[in-house]
Chains A and B, each alone.
Chain A
C-alpha cells in the first residue's frame, strides 16, 4: 500500500515528461499559462466563425529555462479536455529530429498528431461523402463506396458500407473519390483526403521536399481539420533552437499565415538569444508573437508544492490527505527546497517524491517521514549534503529539529541545554578555561537564535551548575524587519553589572540545528572524536569563545 491512501505512485520518474505523465497539470502559473493558450485558441476560433474563409493565424511563444515545465505544458495541451472540441494539436520534439531536413520537418509535424486525430478525420470525411451520396443522391459519391445493385437488394446501407471501409474490410473507389471531390477541393487537399481515407496518411502521406510544399500541405491539412472537424490546428515545436534550417522553415511558416492555425514555439532564453544574434528577422517575428506565455516563478516553492499536491490529490480515490498530513508534507518540501538548491526545480523535486513514495510503500509507512526522505536522498542523490551545517546532520534530523523549533518553549530549553553541553565540551577539550571565562563573562551567556518560523529570540543561558537553565523572561520588544516579526524575549533577573559582562552568542537556523544535534548526541553519550572536532569549530563559529 502506498502512503496517503494512494493506489499507485502518482509521480513520474523520467528525465523528461512522457505522454501519460502530462495528463495532469498542476501549479497556478502553469494553469494560468494553459488558460492563456486556450483563450488564444478560442479567440482564433471565434474570429474564424465570424469571418468565414479568412486566413486567421496566431503565433505563441513559451520561453523559459530547462526543467520549468514547458514540455509538460505543451504535451498536456495535446490531450486536455478544454481543447477537445476546439483544436487538434501536433507536438514535434525537434530534439528528436536529426538531421533537420525539410522532409523530416514536415514528417515530424504530421507525426506529431495523435493517431486518433486522423481516425476522427477519416470518419468525418467518409461520413461527409456518405451524406452526399444519401441526401443528394450523388452518383459519384455512391460510387466511392462501391454501392451496387446487389447491396441495394441485400438491404446493405451506405452506412454499413462506410463502416466496413472504416474497419478496413473493404476498400473504397479512389478514382470515384477524385471525381467526387474535384471542384470542391484542391489537388493537394484531395491527395491528403485520399491518404487519410485509405488509412495510410502517417505511413504514406504526401511528401514535402521544399518549404513551399510544406506550406501547401500544412495549409491543406489545416483546412481539412477546420472543414471536417471544425477544429483549429495547433502545431507545437518543442526545443526550438538556432538551427539554420529550422529557423528558415519557421520564418516561412509564420510568413505564410497558415489558415486557422496556431504555431506554439517552445524554447529556452539561451536559444532565443542565439536566434536574436543569428537571425534578426525571425527574432523580430517571435518578438511580435500574439501571446508570450510567461512561466515566471514556475520553480518557486509555492508552484512546486502545488504541483506535488496536485499529483497526490488527483490519485487519491476514496480518502484525501488530512490537513496535518498535508502540512507535514509541505513543511518537508520547504526544507528540501530551502536547504538544497538542487531541488529548487520541479523535475528534481518530483523525482525525489517518486522515490520517497516507493520507499514509503516498501516500509509500509502511511506518510513520507524524515527517515524515508533521508534514505531517498542518500540513495538517489548520494553526493548531496546539507551545505550550511558544520556537523554531519542527516536530513531527517534537520527536519525533526526544524519541526521541533516551532515549539517555542521546548526549543528555548533545548538551546539552553545545548549551549551548556557545547561549553562543557569546549571546557573539557581545553578550548575554554572555565574560571577565567566565568571571571570575564559571568556565569550566563546571552543567546540570540533564529528559529524556522522566521522569529528571533534572545535567551539568557546559565552555564554554571548541574543543569543548564534559560531564564524565563517577559516579552520585551517586537522588531519588525523585512515584514517578519522578530520577537525578542529576554530575562531580566540580574543586576545591570552582571548583564553587561554576559557573553553574546548569535545563532542562525543552521547553527541552531547543529547545536541541538550535537547536544542530543552529547547527552546520549554518542559523541565521537570527529564530532568533538566539529563541535569545537561550531563553538568558535558562534563566538562562544
Chain B
C-alpha cells in the first residue's frame, strides 16, 4: 500500500510492483485492497497500473474531461447542499428556541426532512420529465383514432387517473415538450383546454 501511494497520481505499474516483490505473492493482497476500495487498478496504454483511490481521482481529473465535468457538477451540488444546510441552521437559530434537547432534535429532524424533500423534488422532476413523456406517448398511441389527432384533455384525464398531476403542471410539461420536440409532436387549434400558441388555444395533439 505504501509503495502504491508513492506513485501518486501517476500510479505504479503492476509489473514493476511484481518485480520489486518477486519473492512474495502480491496478487491476493492487491485483490483484497481493490475489493476494499483502497486502491484502483486501471489500464494506461497497454499496461495495468495501480493507484491509491484519491490519487486515481486526481489522475482522472487531469486526463478525463468528462469525469472532470461530472466531478465539478457534483462538487457544485455538494456546495449547494451545504449552503442549504447552513441556511436551515440559521433560520432554525433565529426562529426557534433551543431550550430543550427535544427541541434541538426536532429542529434537526425538521431540517433533515426539508433537505430530503427539496432534494427529492429535484429527483422527481428529473424523473418525471422522462416518465411524463413515456406516459404521454403511451396514452397518445392508445387514444389516437384514424386521423391521429387526440384531445389533450383526454390524455390529461387518462394520466390523472394514474398520477397525482395538476392540470397546470400537465400543460406546462406539454408546452415545454412540444416546443422542444416540434419535429415529433404536432398541435392543432381547438378543444376546450390546451396550450396557447400564436394566440390560439391548441387542444389537439398528434405524433408526426
List chain A positions with a Cβ less than 8 A from chain B: 61, 63-66, 268-273, 287, 292, 294, 296-297, 299-301, 341-342, 344-345, 348, 446, 448, 458, 476-477, 479, 488, 490, 492, 496, 499-500, 504
Q: Could you list 30 examples of A-B contacts with CB < 8 Å?
A: A63-B149, A66-B189, A268-B188, A268-B189, A269-B206, A270-B188, A270-B191, A270-B204, A272-B147, A273-B149, A273-B190, A273-B204, A292-B146, A296-B148, A296-B208, A297-B183, A297-B186, A300-B182, A300-B183, A345-B198, A446-B72, A476-B65, A477-B64, A477-B65, A477-B66, A488-B66, A496-B9, A496-B61, A500-B61, A504-B69
Contact status A269-B149, CB under 8 Å? yes
Count of CB-CB pairs between chains A and B under 8 Å: 85
Partner of B189, one of A65, A297, A477, A504: A65
Q: Is the CB of A458 within 8 A of B65?
A: yes
Measured CA separation A342–B200 after assembly (Å): 11
Pick the most buried of A270, A301, A448: most chain B CB atoms within 10 A of its CB. A270
Known: A65-B202, A272-B149, A301-B183. 7 other contacts (CB 8 A): A273-B151, A273-B191, A341-B197, A342-B198, A479-B66, A496-B58, A504-B76
Interface residue B203 (Cβ < 8 Å from any Cβ of A): yes
In the bound assembly, the distance between CA atoms of A448 and B68 in angstroms comes to: 12
Residues of B contacting A292 in the complex (Cβ-Cβ under 8 angstroms): 146-147
| Contact pattern, B 172-208, Cβ under 8 Å of A = 1, otherwise 0 | 0000000100110011111100000110101110101
Residues of B within 8 A of A299 (CB): 186
Once A269-B190, A270-B203 are accepted as A-B contacts, the answer to whether A499 and B68 lie under 8 Å apart by CB is yes
Which chain A residue has the least Cβ–Cβ distance from B76? Answer: A504
Q: In the complex, A288→B83 CA distance in Å?
A: 63
CA–CA, A345 and B186, complex, Å = 11
A299 CB → nearest B CB, Å: 7
The dominant DSSP class at the B interface is: mixed
B47: min CB distance to chain A, Å: 21
B82 to chain A, nearest CB (A): 15
A348 to B198, CA, bound (A): 10
Instruction: Kindly state the separation between the CA atoms of A465 and B36 in the bound complex, as whole angstroms.
Output: 47
Contact B198 A341 (CB under 8 A): yes
**Which chain B residues border A476 with CB–CB below 8 Å?**
65
Q: What distance in Å separates the Cβ of B8 from its nearest Cβ neighbour in chain A?
A: 11
Residues of A within 8 A of B64 (CB): 477
Most buried by B among A272, A273, A287, A300: A273
A466 to chain B, nearest CB (A): 28
Bound complex: CA A297 to CA B188 (Å) = 12
Task: Report the separation of the CA atoms of residues A496 and B8 in the bound assembly, to the nearest whole angstrom.
Answer: 13
B190 to chain A, nearest CB (A): 2
How far, in whole Å, are A381 and B208 apart by their CA atoms in the complex?
29
* B29 CB–A CB distance under 8 Å: no
Indicate if B125 sits at the interface (CB-CB under 8 A): no
Q: Are A270 and B190 in contact (CB under 8 A)?
A: yes
Please give, as numbers and ranges, the residues of chain B lying within 8 Å of A504 by CB-CB distance: 69, 72, 76
- Residues in A with CB closer than 8 Å to B188 are 64-66, 268-270
Nearest CB in chain B to that of A446: its residue: B72
Q: Which residues of A contact B190 (CB under 8 A)?
A: 268-271, 273
A168–chain B nearest beta-carbon distance, Å: 48
> Contacts of A297 on B, CB cut-off 8 Å?
183, 186, 208
Interface string of B144-178 (1 = CB under 8 A from A): 01111101000000000000000000000000000
In the bound complex, residues from chain B placing their C-beta under 8 Å from that of A65 are: 186-189, 202, 204
A269 touches B204 (CB 8 A): yes
Chain B CB within 10 A, most for which of A65, A342, A448: A65
**A490–B208 touching, CB < 8 Å:** no
Q: How far is the CA of A446 from the CA of B182 in the complex (A)?
A: 32
Is B62 located at the chain interface by the 8 A CB criterion?
yes
Please indicate the chain B residues that have their CB under 8 angstroms from the CB of A66 in the complex.
Answer: 188-189, 200
Q: Is the CB of B186 within 8 A of A296?
A: yes
B64-83 vs A, CB cutoff 8 Å, 1 = contact: the mask equals 11101100100010000000
Contact (Cβ within 8 A) A496 B62: yes
CA distance A297 to B184 in the complex (A): 9
A476-B64 Cα distance, complex, nearest whole Å: 8
CA distance A268 to B201 in the complex (A): 14
Interface string of B126-153 (1 = CB under 8 A from A): 0000000000000000000111110100
Roughly how many angstroms separate A479 CA and B200 CA in the complex, as a whole number?
40
Question: Across the interface, which residues of A come within 8 angstroms of B65, CB to CB?
Answer: 458, 476-477, 488, 490
Contacts of B179 in A (CB 8 A): 341
A273 to B72, CA, bound (A): 52
Do A499 and B148 have beta carbons less than 8 Å apart?
no
Q: Which residue of chain A has the shortest Cβ distance to B188 in the bound complex?
A: A65
Contact B62 A269 (CB under 8 A): no
